[in-house]
Amino acid sequence: MWFFKMVNEKCSKDLIISYFFPEYVDTGGFVVAKRIIENGKKVDVIQNHIENVALDNSLNDLINEYVEDKIVLHAYDAEKWEWSVIKPFIEEGMVELNNQKSKKGVYKSIYSRAMPTPAHFLAFEYKTQNPDTKWTAEFSDPVLFDNYGKERNTKLKDEKYIKKVNSIISQDVNLKEMNLNSALDSNLTSIEFLCELLPFLFADKIIFTNENQKKLMINKFLLKNKGNFKNFKQFIDNKSLIKPQPILKKSAYESIQSKYKIDNNYINFAYFGLFYGNRNFEDVFYAFENISPFFKSKCKLHIFTSQTKFVKRATSDLKIKDNIIINKSRSFLDFLNLTTKFDVLIVTDANTEDYFEINPYLPSKLSDYIGSGSDIWGICELGSILDSNEIIKYKSRLGDYISSKVVVNKIIQEKLNCNENGEEFNNPNLTEVNTQEQNDILKSNLNEVINYLKKRNIGLTDDLNNVINLNHEKQFYINKLENDLKSSKVQLNDQQVMNLKSTEEIDKMVNSSSWKLTKPLRSIGQKIRK
C-alpha cells in the first residue's frame, strides 16, 4: 500500500482532453499543445485517432517532455460532430480513463477545449463520476452560432442521455438557485447547445480567448433560453478567465532554421493560413495592386496556404502577380521560425458586422506573430479585439481598400525611408485622411459602382461557378456600399494619402483585377451562409 501511494504521487495528476492533438495538423490541437508548454507541468493526454489528416511531427521535441501518458482513442472520425461520433468517444474514453484510474488514481484536474465538441462531453462525464476533480473548459470560438451568426442545430437524438443530464442538473445543490426547471427538451436539444451548457454549469473554470467572445456567447445563450436561467450571467462570470492564445518562448522560434529563401533586397510581407468566406484577401490584393510603380518593384508578398491551386488561379491576372510568391503550408516550427524573418506579417479579422453585434473572434496566429518580434499589419474590423491590440504596429480597416493602400504605402516608406519617387527623407510628412471627403467621393460614384456590379461578369472555371450566386452577391455588395456611406466607419490617422481628392481612386478600385478575381471568395462565403 505504501509503495502504491508513493508511485501515485509521482504520476501525472492532470489530464488534457483534446479530440485533435499533435501530430495531427489542427489549429485547435496546436493551441492545446501550447497551453501545456505554457503551464510547464507533466500531464496525461487523451485524444482521437484521425484518418486523412496531415501530420506534423515538428512539435514533438517541445511537447513530449510534458506528456507522460498519451491515450489515443479509435472512436468514429467524422467531419460532422453528430451524436453517433461523440457518444463512442465518450464511452471508449471512459473505459480508458477508468483503466488509468486503477493505475494512478483520480485526476486532480482535467482540461478540455472546443472546438470540436467531443472533448467537453467526455470531460463532463469524467467530472460527473469524479466530482472532486477540477474541470477547466476552454472555448476557442462560439459553439452555438457559426461565423455568419446562424445557429448550429445538430439534434441530440438520445432521450436516455438527455434524461440523465436533466437528472444531474436537478440534483445539483449548487444549481438550485439557477431556476433550471426542465433545462433540456429531448425534442429540441442540440449538441451545440449542450456543449455550451454543460461547461457553463459544471466546469470549475471557463476560459475565453477574449472579452468580446465571453460577452457574446453568454448573451446569445441567454437569449436562446429566453432568460430562463436566474443569476446565470453572474454564475458564469464568477468562474471565467480571459486568456488569449499562448505565446511561446523565443527558443521555440529558434528550435529549427527554415530553409525558405527570402530576398532581403525587397520589403517582404507574409500571410499564413486559409482564405474563406468572411476572412479573405481582397484588402491585401487591392492595396498591392494600386501602390506606386516604384513601391511595387520594392516589395514581395509571400503566401503560405493549403489552397495553393486556388490562390494561384485567383491571382493569375493581377498586375502584381510577379511579386506574389505562393507556397504550401509549413510545419509548425518552420512556420514559427519563418515569422521572425519577414518584415511584416499580415493578419486579418473575420467580417462579422453583418452577423454579430460585436466581433467574438481572435485569430490564433496573432499570438505566434507577437512572439516573433516582427512588425504586424492587422486588417481590423472596427471594435474587434484585433483592432484594440496595441502591439499591432500597422492597422487598416477591414473592407476599406483605400485604407489598406494607405497602410502599404506607409509601411514601404518607413522600411525604405523614402517617398514613392525613391527620394530619401528622415521625417515623412504623413497627412490625415479627410473622411467626409472620401464619403463625398464614394457618393458621387455610387451609381457607377452599381452599374458596374450589374454588368460585370466573371470568367472563372466551372468548379467555382457552381458555388456563385450572382444576384445575391450583387445585392449584398450594393447594400454594403450604402451602409458604409451611412456609417462612415473609415478612421485613419497618421497615414499617407495618395490621390484621394479625385474620383480616380474609386474607378481604380471597382475596375481592378483584385476586385474581380477575388469575387469567388465573396460568393462562396454568401453561398455557405445560405
Rounded to an integer, what distance in angstroms lies between the CA atom of residue 31 and that of residue 177? 35
Residue 52, pLDDT score: 83
User: For a pLDDT cut of 70, what percent of the chain falls above it?
Assistant: 74
Closest CA to 194 of 154, 136, 235: 154
User: Do 190 and 289 belong together in one domain?
Assistant: no
User: Do 210 and 293 belong together in one domain?
Assistant: no
The residue assigned the cell 477508468 is 98
- In tens, the pLDDT along 248-284 reads 999 999 999 999 999 999 999 999 988 776 676 788 8
pLDDT higher for 268 or 516? Answer: 268
User: Do 521 and 449 belong together in one domain?
Assistant: yes
The tally of CA atoms less than 13 A away on the side-chain side of residue 398 is 23
pLDDT over threshold 80, residue 183: no
CA distance to 255, 298, 323, 345, 389, per residue, from 376 (Å): 22, 18, 20, 5, 11
pLDDT over threshold 80, residue 463: no
**DSSP conformation letters of 397-443:** ETT-HHHHHHHHHHHHHHHHTB-TTS-B-SS--PPPP-HHHHHHHHH
User: Do 54 and 99 belong together in one domain?
Assistant: yes
Residue 157, pLDDT score: 85
> Would you say residue 312 lies in a domain?
yes
CATH at 151: 3.40.50
Residue 164, pLDDT score: 93
User: Do 433 and 287 belong together in one domain?
Assistant: yes
- In tens, the pLDDT along 376-429 reads 999 999 999 999 999 999 999 998 989 999 999 999 999 998 877 777 755 444
pLDDT over threshold 50, residue 500: no
User: Do 421 and 478 belong together in one domain?
Assistant: yes
Residue 227, pLDDT score: 56
pLDDT over threshold 90, residue 94: yes
> Would you say residue 190 lies in a domain?
yes
pLDDT over threshold 60, residue 153: yes
**Cis status of the peptide bond prior to 509, with omega within 30 of 0:** no
Domain C-terminal end among 191, 207, 242:
242
pLDDT over threshold 90, residue 439: no
Q: DSSP code of 355?
A: T
> Would you say residue 247 lies in a domain?
no
User: Do 29 and 151 belong together in one domain?
Assistant: yes
Min mean pLDDT across 97-101, 120-124, 511-515 is at 511-515
Number of helical H runs and strand E runs in the chain: 23, 13
User: Do 48 and 148 belong together in one domain?
Assistant: yes
Range of the domain at 474: 252-529
Q: What is the 3-state secondary structure (H, E, C) of 446-483?
A: HHHHHHHHHHCCCCCCHHHHCCCCHHHHHHHHHHHHHH
> Would you say residue 269 lies in a domain?
yes
pLDDT higher for 440 or 269? Answer: 269
Rounded to an integer, what distance in angstroms lies between the CA atom of residue 7 and that of residue 516? 66
User: Do 139 and 159 belong together in one domain?
Assistant: yes
User: Do 347 and 453 belong together in one domain?
Assistant: yes
User: Do 347 and 394 belong together in one domain?
Assistant: yes
User: Do 234 and 256 belong together in one domain?
Assistant: no
How many structural domains compose the chain? 2
pLDDT over threshold 50, residue 469: no
Its pTM surpasses 0.75? yes
Domain C-terminal end among 213, 242, 271:
242
> Would you say residue 76 lies in a domain?
yes
**Angle, in degrees to the nearest 10, between helices 332-339 and 365-372:** 50
Average pLDDT of the residues of the chain: 80
Q: Could you tell me the pLDDT band of residue 78, with boundaries at 50, 70 and 90?
A: low
Rounded to an integer, what distance in angstroms lies between the CA atom of residue 147 and that of residue 152? 10
Rounded to an integer, what distance in angstroms lies between the CA atom of residue 199 and that of residue 218? 12
CATH at 318: 3.40.50.2000
Distance from the Cα of residue 159 to its chain's centroid: 34
Domain C-terminal end among 190, 217, 242:
242
